[in-house]
């Protein structure tokens, strides 16, 4: 009897590891077109929280969003989920610098990120909603799609982690 449970546990653990590897590979394939874009790479020079760059933060938010959707079997548009998450903080400035245009960053950066993203990429309505509404409830517009809610939640989690720990909650 013991042998059965031991084997079942280790098979389950091995299957879980395979699933994580498959999920990670799928995630990498989905993010590549965006993270290889030269304009998106510029996000790496701006700090978001702690010592985490905007690019690192957005990759972490995208992964946590993807992981949550997969883990909880939430059927959604995974490509839009990841693209929206990767571009949700595409505002392209250092909000830590003393500048009146950055004074209310928390309230206004989503609109700036959306303007930049729509200028540089072809976005669908889900991706635009994710970018525009990710600061709910600070921005009072409710997200319209489940993908937007997932990214909003993942963004709060990653921001909290990065602020407390000073590093991204997920990296390659």
Q: What is the pLDDT of residue 101?
A: 59
Out of 36-50, 55-69, 124-138, least confident range: 36-50
**Among 138, 59, 154, which residue's Cα sits nearest to residue 106?**
138
Region of residue 55 (phi > 0: left; psi between -120 and 50: alpha; otherwise: beta): alpha
CA distance 70 to 76: 9
Express each pLDDT in 14-55 by its tens digit.
Answer: 657 777 888 889 999 999 998 899 988 887 887 766 677 889
Question: Is the predicted pLDDT of residue 10 greater than 50, yes or no?
Answer: no
The pTM (predicted TM-score) of the whole model is 0.82
Q: What residues are paired with 68 via a beta bridge? A: none
Largest Cα separation within the chain, whole Å, is 69
């Amino acid at each position: 009897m013991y042998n059965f449970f031991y084997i079942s546990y280790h098979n389950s653990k091995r299957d879980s590891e395979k699933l994580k590897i498959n999920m990670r590979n799928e995630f990498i394939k989905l993010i590549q077109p965006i993270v290889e874009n030269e304009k998106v790479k510029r996000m790496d020079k701006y700090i978001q929280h702690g010592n985490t760059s905007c690019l690192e933060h957005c990759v972490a938010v995208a992964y946590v969003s993807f992981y949550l959707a997969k883990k909880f079997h939430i059927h959604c548009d995974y490509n839009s989920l990841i693209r929206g998450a990767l571009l949700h903080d595409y505002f392209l400035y250092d909000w830590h610098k003393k500048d009146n245009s950055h004074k209310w960053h928390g309230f206004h950066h989503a609109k700036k990120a959306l303007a930049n993203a729509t200028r540089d990429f072809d976005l669908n309505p889900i991706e635009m909603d994710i970018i525009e509404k990710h600061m709910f409830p600070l921005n009072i517009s409710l997200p319209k799609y489940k993908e937007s809610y997932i990214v909003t939640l993942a963004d709060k989690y990653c921001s909290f982690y990065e602020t407390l720990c000073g590093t991204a909650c997920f990296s390659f």
